[in-house]
Amino acid sequence: MTHTQEKITYPNLPLAIYRELAAHLRQIEGVTIKLIPQQSQQFNYDQSQIDHLEMGYPTTLSPTEKQRVEEILDYYAQVHRPYTREIK
C-alpha cells in the first residue's frame, strides 16, 4: 500500500493546539501524525515549540475521509491562522 506524506505548518501555533489538531486528525482511520519540534537554536517566546506536523495517509483514503481531513485543517486555519501544506 502506498502512502502520501504531507508537511503542514501553522505559523506560531502553540504546542497545545498542535497536539489538539494531531488528536483530531488521528481519529481518521489510516491517518498518521508526527509533531516535528522547532529546530531554532534561539529562544523566541512568540515561536511555537513545534515547527510543523507530518501527516501520512494511504492513497486509498476514501473521499469522505479526505473531506474530513480538509474540514479539520480548515477549521484550525479559521480559528487560529492560515497554514501551508506541502506534499513530500
**pLDDT tens profile 36-81:** 998 877 766 666 789 999 999 999 999 999 999 999 999 999 999 8
The single residue listed with the C-alpha cell 494531531 is 22
Q: Say how far residue 24 (Cα) sits from the centre of its chain.
A: 10
Least confident segment among 1-5, 25-29, 34-38, 62-66: 1-5
Query: What is d(CA 68, CA 64) in angstroms, rounded to the nearest whole number?
Result: 6
Q: What is the pLDDT of residue 44?
A: 66
Tell me, what's the pLDDT at 43? 63
pLDDT > 80? residue 2: yes
Report the Cα 9 to chain-centroid distance in Å.
7
